């Protein structure tokens, strides 16, 4: 049954796939061309990955291509650092673009389009101030009023527009507007702005321009210049679509079509570059790639894999209505993948010393599977000796009834080693436990006569003389409320003060010494971990990618009264 449902899901197309299949079947296009159009004013976040998987995925599925187009029409906020990070992130996600374009490459062509609309009597230069234009715009229920400059003749408009380009005017002194309908029920039709004056340096065109096209004029025309067939954007652009079509129709250029889907919203975080930038600039996080950030670079540093992010994007599907996705789904996806690929290691975070009193050998090396989920797993060698560390909380001197791990007189199995029994609790003068004296069952290791002996629990451990230390960084959600952007006051008031916990020295088995960036680890019973870029020759640093289970959800349930 579950299999059938799964197959059913695989078969059903999302609405964009349906559109593409229909277009191809009807022979409207020989092949499709999509584009991913980031504005280079910040790092990509998990929301963008949704759009990337959609655009590149559609093209891949139907044998088409995807352009990467930097939407760099706003000179003030853009930076080449962002351009580079965006390219690296898309490649890391597993996609390659057919062409790397910049909207700024089209500035001359866009300018010529604008002159053409002026010549057709469909655009005019307006001297009104921004406030006056806003005032004359009307409201959704009241028509707007015409600007006194609306009736300028073609020649005057052409001259003024050329003067705008030539730098004769200051910022805000004039704008170019499309001449459409000041009474339209669609506010975007009430003579929308096409160009504004901005004496600013652009990251690619330098000082060549002091007028810059507005999004609505630049975007559709850029799509058309590239002959994009399916221009996919988020729902807030639905009311812009008639304008998108209007420019294309009036200019009589390649008819790209715009389609809209619901943007990804994720709980316990913010997905707006402006807000993420504030977190970076105000030092709430260590940078765009802080492992708590919902950025692609943050997720990568934390130990997310491209596979897990693509799986997530596919699981949430392509919706036409706004919704808030539970971040635990993203965590589920990363566990799914890491469970298959992570190498198992034992690491003790909060050590309690064990002396195995009847263990007389100096040491021995035991073999343990790197990954029991992998049928072709390799094995690593694990040192065992007389002195071990286990976790403090795997021992209780006075255990409650259901405590199955170590306590006086009780046995546990040490993973991939022996069964031990606690014989004595050693304390210092203040009554604090300093170590446990245990005995081991020599026949209890794998292959031995007592290897099948039943004990209630298996715990992880490390051999003290062989242990290496590493710093471990444990992350929790960056915000303590589901939807910080929509709470009263500033979203930063809702930052979770406990989102980062640093363990300066955890004790690890020596196999972890050669940790690599292309390897993911499961620290047994602790979660999935990934080497951090702060690691050095002297000190390894690990990020917890995720816990092994959805402990957060459990905590949340605990807080609620039982029904």
To the query of whether residue 263 is one of the catalytic residues in this protein, the response is yes
396 CB-side CA count, 13 A? 9
Of 30, 553, 158, the residue nearest 332 (C-alpha): 553
| Cβ-based nearer residue to ligand ATP, 37 or 75 | 37
Q: Which of 17, 39, 387, 482 is catalytic?
A: 39
Kindly write out the interface string for residues 335-374 of this chain, putting x where it contacts Mg ion by CB under 5 A and - elsewhere. ----------------------------------------
Binding positions for ligand ATP, 356-395, rule CB under 6 A: none
| Cβ-based nearer residue to ligand ATP, 39 or 336 | 39
Is there a contact between 405 and 392 (Cβ–Cβ < 8 Å)? no
Tokens standing for 200?
């600013």
Among 32, 34, 38, 495, binds ligand ATP (CB under 6 A): 38
Among 156, 234, 385, 535, binds ligand ATP (CB under 6 A): 234
Q: Which of 174, 177, 273, 380 is catalytic?
A: 273
Give CA–CA dist 514/494, Å, rounded: 39
Among 162, 263, 315, 353, binds ligand ATP (CB under 6 A): 263
> Does the protein bind ligand ATP through residue 309 (CB under 6 A)?
no
CA angle 548, 552, 557 (to 5 degrees): 125
| Cβ-based nearer residue to ligand ATP, 272 or 456 | 272
38 interacts with, out of Mg ion, ligand ATP, none, CB within 5 to 8 A per kind: ligand ATP
Kindly write out the interface string for residues 37-56 of this chain, putting x where it contacts Mg ion by CB under 5 A and - elsewhere. --x-----------------
Minimal CB distance to ligand ATP: which residue?
47
Q: Which of 60, 263, 315, 477 is catalytic?
A: 263
Tokens standing for 56?
């590149």
User: Min. distance of Cβ 19 from ligand ATP in angstroms?
Assistant: 17
Among 32, 33, 43, 47, binds ligand ATP (CB under 6 A): 47
To the query of whether residue 39 is one of the catalytic residues in this protein, the response is yes
Of 233, 195, 191, 227, the residue nearest 211 (C-alpha): 195
Of 132, 125, 173, 175, the residue nearest 151 (C-alpha): 125
Kindly write out the interface string for residues 457-476 of this chain, putting x where it contacts ligand ATP by CB under 6 A and - elsewhere. --------------------
Q: Pick the stretch among 43-51, 153-161, 280-288, 526-534 that binds ligand ATP (CB under 6 A).
A: 43-51
Question: What residues are paired with 344 via a beta bridge?
Answer: 522
| Cβ-based nearer residue to Mg ion, 42 or 64 | 42
Q: Provide the b/e sequence for 392-407 (b: ≥16 CB within 10 Å).
A: eebbeeeeeeeeebbb
Binding positions for ligand ATP, 268-307, rule CB under 6 A: 271-273
272 interacts with, out of Mg ion, ligand ATP, none, CB within 5 to 8 A per kind: ligand ATP
Binding positions for ligand ATP, 48-87, rule CB under 6 A: 48, 50-51, 71
The site that binds ligand ATP (CB under 6 A) totals a number of residues, namely: 15
Is there a contact between 90 and 123 (Cβ–Cβ < 8 Å)? no
Q: Pick the stretch among 36-44, 116-124, 144-152, 406-414 that binds Mg ion (CB under 5 A).
A: 36-44
> Does the protein bind ligand ATP through residue 337 (CB under 6 A)?
no
| Paired sense of beta strands 521-523 and 527-531, if any | antiparallel
Helix, strand, or coil (residue 543): strand
Of 470, 487, 485, the residue nearest 542 (C-alpha): 470
51 interacts with, out of ligand ATP, Mg ion, none, CB within 5 to 8 A per kind: ligand ATP
Q: Pick the stretch among 21-29, 32-40, 151-159, 489-497 that binds ligand ATP (CB under 6 A).
A: 32-40
**Three-class secondary structure assignment of 463-500:** EHHHCEEEEEEEECCCECCCCHHHCCCCHHHHECCCCE
Q: Pick the stretch among 47-55, 141-149, 340-348, 377-385 that binds ligand ATP (CB under 6 A).
A: 47-55
257 interacts with, out of ligand ATP, Mg ion, none, CB within 5 to 8 A per kind: none
To the query of whether residue 307 is one of the catalytic residues in this protein, the response is no
Is there a contact between 206 and 145 (Cβ–Cβ < 8 Å)? no
Give residues with Cβ within 8 angstroms of 140, minimum separation 6.
185, 187
Q: Pick the stretch among 247-255, 267-275, 280-288, 367-375 that binds ligand ATP (CB under 6 A).
A: 267-275
Give residues with Cβ within 8 angstroms of 528, minimum separation 6.
303, 334, 335, 338, 342, 520, 521, 522, 544, 545, 546, 548
267 interacts with, out of ligand ATP, Mg ion, none, CB within 5 to 8 A per kind: none
| Cβ-based nearer residue to ligand ATP, 121 or 239 | 239
Helix, strand, or coil (residue 83): helix
Give CA–CA dist 66/101, Å, rounded: 11
Q: Pick the stretch among 151-159, 195-203, 266-274, 330-338 that binds ligand ATP (CB under 6 A).
A: 266-274
CA dihedral 536, 540, 543, 547 (to 10 degrees): 170
User: Min. distance of Cβ 184 from ligand ATP in angstroms?
Assistant: 24
Work out the burial of residue 279: count CB atoms within 10 Å of its CB; fewer than 13 is exposed, 13-18 middle, 19 or more buried: buried
For 55, list phi and psi in degrees, rounded to 5: -70, -50
> Does the protein bind ligand ATP through residue 315 (CB under 6 A)?
no
Q: Provide the b/e sequence for 141-161 (b: ≥16 CB within 10 Å).
A: eeebeebebeebeeeebbebb
Count Cβ atoms below 10 Å from residue 228 Cβ, excluding itself: 25
> Does the protein bind ligand ATP through residue 413 (CB under 6 A)?
no
The site that binds Mg ion (CB under 5 A) totals a number of residues, namely: 1
Catalytic residues: 39, 263, 273
Binding site for Mg ion (CB under 5 A): 39
Binding site for ligand ATP (CB under 6 A): 37-39, 47-48, 50-51, 71, 233-234, 263-264, 271-273
């Amino acid at each position: 049954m579950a299999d059938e449902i799964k197959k059913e899901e695989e078969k059903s197309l999302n609405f964009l796939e349906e559109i593409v299949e229909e277009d191809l079947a009807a022979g409207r296009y020989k092949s499709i061309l999509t584009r991913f159009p980031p504005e280079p004013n910040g790092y990509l976040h998990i929301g963008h990955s949704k759009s990337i998987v959609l655009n590149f995925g559609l093209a891949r599925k139907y044998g088409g291509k995807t352009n990467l187009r930097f939407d760099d029409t706003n000179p003030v906020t853009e930076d080449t650092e962002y351009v580079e990070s965006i390219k690296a992130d898309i490649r890391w996600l597993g996609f390659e673009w057919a062409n790397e374009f910049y909207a700024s490459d089209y500035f001359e062509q866009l300018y010529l389009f604008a002159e053409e609309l002026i010549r057709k009597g469909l655009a005019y230069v307006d001297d009104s101030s921004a406030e006056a234009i806003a005032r004359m715009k009307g409201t959704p229920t009241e028509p707007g009023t015409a600007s006194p400059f609306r009736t300028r003749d073609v020649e005057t408009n052409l001259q003024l527009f050329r003067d705008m380009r030539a730098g004769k005017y200051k910022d805000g002194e004039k704008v170019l507007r499309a001449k459409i309908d000041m009474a339209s029920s669609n506010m975007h039709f009430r003579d929308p702005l096409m160009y504004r004056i901005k004496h600013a340096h652009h990251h690619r065109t330098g000082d060549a321009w002091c007028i810059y096209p507005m999004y609505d004029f630049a975007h559709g025309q850029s799509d058309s210049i590239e002959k994009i067939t399916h221009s996919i954007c988020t729902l807030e652009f639905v009311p812009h679509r008639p304008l998108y079509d209007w420019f294309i129709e009036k200019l009589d250029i390649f008819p790209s079509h715009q389609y809209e889907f619901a943007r990804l919203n994720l709980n316990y975080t913010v997905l707006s570059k402006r807000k993420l930038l504030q977190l970076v600039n105000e030092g709430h996080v260590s940078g765009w790639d802080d492992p708590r950030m919902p950025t692609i670079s943050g997720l990568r540093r934390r130990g997310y894999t491209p596979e897990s992010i693509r799986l997530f994007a596919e699981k949430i599907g392509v919706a036409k209505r706004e919704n808030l996705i539970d971040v635990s789904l993203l965590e589920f996806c990363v566990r799914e993948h890491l469970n298959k690929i992570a190498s198992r290691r034992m690491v003790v975070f909060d050590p309690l010393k064990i002396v195995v009193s009847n263990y007389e050998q100096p040491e021995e090396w035991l073999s343990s599977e790197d990954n029991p989920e992998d049928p072709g797993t390799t094995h690593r060698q694990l040192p065992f000796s007389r002195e071990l560390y286990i976790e403090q909380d795997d021992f209780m001197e006075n255990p409650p009834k259901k405590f199955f791990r170590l306590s006086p007189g009780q046995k546990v199995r040490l993973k991939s080693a022996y069964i031990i029994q606690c014989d004595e609790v050693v304390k210092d003068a203040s009554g604090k436990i300093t170590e446990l004296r245990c005995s081991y069952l020599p026949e209890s290791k794998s292959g031995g006569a007592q290897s099948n002996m039943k004990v209630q629990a298996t715990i992880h451990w490390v051999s003290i003389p062989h242990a290496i230390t590493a710093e471990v960084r444990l992350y929790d959600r960056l915000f303590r409320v589901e939807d910080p952007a929509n709470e009263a006051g500033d979203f930063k008031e809702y930052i979770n003060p406990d989102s980062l916990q640093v363990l300066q020295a955890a004790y690890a088995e020596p196999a972890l010494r050669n940790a690599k960036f292309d390897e993911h680890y499961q620290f047994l019973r602790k979660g999935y971990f990934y080497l951090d870029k702060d690691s050095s020759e002297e000190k390894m640093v690990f990020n917890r990618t995720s816990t092994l289970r959805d402990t957060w959800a459990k905590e949340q349930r605990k807080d609620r009264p039982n029904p």
